[in-house]
Chains A and B, each alone.
Chain A
Amino acid sequence: MSETGSMVDHAGMPASRHGPLDGLSLPGQTDFSVSRAVHAARFILRGESIHVSAFGPEVPDRLRASTAGSRAALWLGPDEFLLLAPGEDAEAIRNTLKPSLPAASTALVDVSHRQIGLTLEGRLAARCLSAGCPLDLGLASFPIGMATRTIYLKTEIVLWRQGDARFHVEVWRSFAPYLVGHLADALRGTNGL
């Protein structure tokens, strides 16, 4: 999914937008592939956990994600949740979810353009992530459905295990080439083993 497109800037001149990974070659092997995730709308919800249910998915447990259809809610902290949805839902979330929340005790912030979502798939996905992430990514200690904010070398990421060999990673867009470059390096370091 590319963000490149033609637009017009404030002065009416043609302008173009480049996605953070445009022009980079992403690992695409069966053993390990990196691709843009389907979720393009993302919000941070601060406040009581009960307000997550207005978004769709049920309230996620500590260090877990919950999903409902194409929407997902990730527990980041006791009062902080990352809400993911397809790009076309962004407008509806801004227009319906935001007004339904108590303004004094909650905050819903659109961070769609702050970070990007990546899907990491394949037999070697956990090993490549382990090259930079200090958490134990074994299935016993990082089971399917677990989600947390953590770090990969020098960049902060949100890591969500969607399957045995499938991860969703959120990274700030300016750090995305750094992350993807290191993951490609890590893949070479595994020698396919």
Chain B
Amino acid sequence: MLLIRCPYCEMDRPELEFRYGGEAHVARPPDPMATTDEEWAEYLYFRSNPRGLHAERWRHIHGCGRFFNCIRDTVSDRITLTYKAGEARPTLDKGAA
């Protein structure tokens, strides 16, 4: 079982307490009325799906209930770091993962 560090509980907690919440930092267009169908579809449906480090949302649903963000390697499943929702995506040294 993965141990995931919740940035709100500040503790490593078992994976079973968490839910995955999709890619992080997907910004909603500020003015939906002004976007084209293609831009709206891009926002709704298209994700980066990288091979390697991926910023994604998780929720500590059976713990403190908070959403937070996490950098996970999609190849090794290793979670490099977690950080609170609303914080900017940290810049990572590729070698660190």
Determine if A76 and B62 form an interchain contact, defined as CB atoms under 8 angstroms apart: no
Known contacts: A77-B8, A135-B14. The answer to whether A148 contacts B63 by CB under 8 A is yes
Complex interface bits, B57-71 against A, C-beta within 8 A gives 1, otherwise 0: 000001111100000
Number of A-B contacts (CB under 8 A): 36
Q: Could you mark each residue 71-89 of chain A with 1 if its beta carbon is under 8 Å from any beta carbon of chain B, else 0?
A: 0000011101000000000
Q: Let me know if A93 is at the binding interface, CB within 8 A.
A: no
Name the B residues within 8 Å of A150 (CB-CB).
Answer: 13, 17, 62-63
B88 at interface by CB-CB < 8 Å: no
How close is B76's CB to chain A, nearest CB, in angstroms?
A: 22
Name the interface size band of chain A: 10 to 19
**Dominant secondary structure at the A interface:** strand
Asked whether A114 is an interface residue with its Cβ less than 8 Å from the other chain, the reply is no
Within 8 A of B (CB), among A80-139: 80, 134-135
The residue on B at minimum CB distance from A75 is B64
Q: How far is the CA of A186 from the CA of B8 in the complex (A)?
A: 32
